[in-house]
Amino acid sequence: MTGRLAGKLALITGAGAGLGAQMARRFQEEGALIVVNDLRKDAAEAVAKEVAGSAIAADVSDSAAVADMFAQVDREHGRLDILVNNAGFAFDGDPELEKRFNEIPVKQMAELAAGGPIQTHLDMAVTTSDESWLRMIDVHLNGTFYCCREGLKIMNRQNSGSILNMGSIMGTAGGGGSAAYCAAKAGILGLTRSLAREVVTRGIRVNALAPGFIDTDLTAPIQAARPFIEGATPMGRFGDTDDIAWAAVYLASDEAKFVTGQTLSPNGGYHMSQ
Ligand SMILES: NC(=O)c1ccc[n+]([C@@H]2O[C@H](COP(=O)([O-])OP(=O)(O)OC[C@H]3O[C@@H](n4cnc5c(N)ncnc54)[C@H](O)[C@@H]3O)[C@@H](O)[C@H]2O)c1
């Protein structure tokens, strides 16, 4: 099927790689014109070129830069039909964090297999610095809010639009050792429900995606823990980027015209209730 997003203008944050980039590809195939945002200018430009769209480099946690980005979209296009708040990170290149995420679950499973008890502890919260906690909340939760606020200034004027916020199963099921990430993602789901109620009278829908473990650069550092994650996933695998991109196409499109305030969670069965 093609043309599901025909004529729509979509801004996708963090679309220089991974899930955002694949959404950009599928959105374009379905007829949307894409504005590709990323912190990394080169990455944004490369994807924009691929999807015949345009690129805006901006850090979504910088509210002034976000306001400038939406002002540019308004100037250049005069409308905004789809906003996907996807920008995010997990480990931020912290090798110590990556090491612990790989080694500790492996040790814990070995201790359990040997009859327990588990004596290796995650102990992540007690070593999380203010700076790393705040950066996580800043990019994910504050960034999503800044983009919603500026995007809605355009959508409110139109009395139409579809916003998609990127949560995670970490924000629904939780996940040990990633308090800031889980808190930020859970906050995004709450923000989604509140905004959905607020803007429903304007014909604007606000939904969230809560992916399970998907193969992207974000999950590349946790390969040692991969067998345990796959073992806990009824489908027995990580997802691919299309598992999320097609869900995004649906929620962004008019096919989802009766859907708002929802969290759609493609996760291979890892987490079945919300
Ligand atoms: N991959 C997964 O398993 C998974 C699961 C659940 C949720 N998510 C969420 O999906 C989103 C995309 O993740 P991904 O797996 O594609 O990661 P990725 O690392 O492949 O891509 C993320 C992109 O976001 C950009 N980015 C990071 N911080 C930014 C900022 N402050 N401003 C603008 N751009 C920024 C990066 O430069 C990168 O290009 C994230 O919000 C992530 O938390 C991912």
Q: pLDDT value at position 129?
A: 93
Domain-embedded: residue 73? yes
What six digits make up the tokens of 156?
């409110």
Provide the number of structural domains found in the chain.
1
Give the largest Cα separation in the chain, rounded: 64
Strands (E), 39-178: 54-57, 82-85, 161-166
- Closest by CA to 52, choosing from 68, 34, 27, is 34
Instruction: Give yes or no for residue 244 CB within 6 A of ligand 1.
Output: no
Domain-embedded: residue 20? yes
User: Residue 138 has what DSSP assignment?
Assistant: I
Please, are residues 251 and 26 in contact by the beta-carbon 8 Å criterion? Answer: no
Q: How far, in Å, CA of 255 to CA of 150, rounded? A: 25
Q: pLDDT value at position 105?
A: 87
Query: Rounded to 10 degrees, what is the CA torsion of 32, 35, 41, 45?
Result: 40
Number of H helices and E strands in the chain, helices first, is: 10, 7
Q: How far, in Å, CA of 247 to CA of 82, rounded? A: 14
Q: pLDDT value at position 29?
A: 98
Q: pLDDT value at position 93?
A: 80
- Kind plus residue range of the DSSP H or E element containing 71: helix 63-77
Domain-embedded: residue 201? yes
Q: pLDDT value at position 64?
A: 98
Domain-embedded: residue 97? no
Domain-embedded: residue 137? yes
Q: pLDDT value at position 98?
A: 86
- Closest by CA to 83, choosing from 266, 206, 244, 241, is 206
- Closest by CA to 217, choosing from 24, 54, 14, is 14
What six digits make up the tokens of 1?
């099927």
Q: How far, in Å, CA of 171 to CA of 179, rounded? A: 10
Domain-embedded: residue 81? yes
Name the residue range of residue 241's domain.
9-91+130-221+236-264
Instruction: Give yes or no for residue 19 CB within 6 A of ligand 1.
Output: yes
Distance 172 CA to ligand 1 centre (A): 18
Question: Three-state SS string across 205-267, please?
Answer: EEEEECCCCECCCCCHHHCCCHHHHHHCCCCCCCECHHHHHHHHHHHHCHHHCCCCCCEECCC
Crossing angle (nearest 10°) for helices 63-77 and 143-158: 30
Per-residue pLDDT of the chain (274 residues; tens, 9 = 90+): 589 999 999 999 999 999 999 999 999 999 999 999 999 999 999 999 999 999 999 999 999 999 999 999 999 999 999 999 999 999 888 888 888 888 898 899 899 999 989 999 999 999 999 999 999 999 999 999 999 999 999 999 999 999 999 999 999 999 988 999 999 999 999 999 999 999 999 999 999 999 999 999 999 999 888 999 999 999 999 999 999 999 999 999 999 999 999 999 999 999 997 5
From 146, 181, 250, 270, the catalytic residue: 181
Domain-embedded: residue 231? no
Query: Which atom of ligand 1 lies closest to the CA of 214?
Result: 3
Q: pLDDT value at position 274?
A: 58
Judge whether 181 counts as a catalytic residue. Answer: yes
Q: pLDDT value at position 1?
A: 57
Q: Probe ligand 1: pick from 26, 98, 218, max atoms within 8 Å of CB?
A: 218
CATH of the domain at 157: 3.40.50.720
Domain-embedded: residue 103? no
Distance 112 CA to ligand 1 centre (A): 33
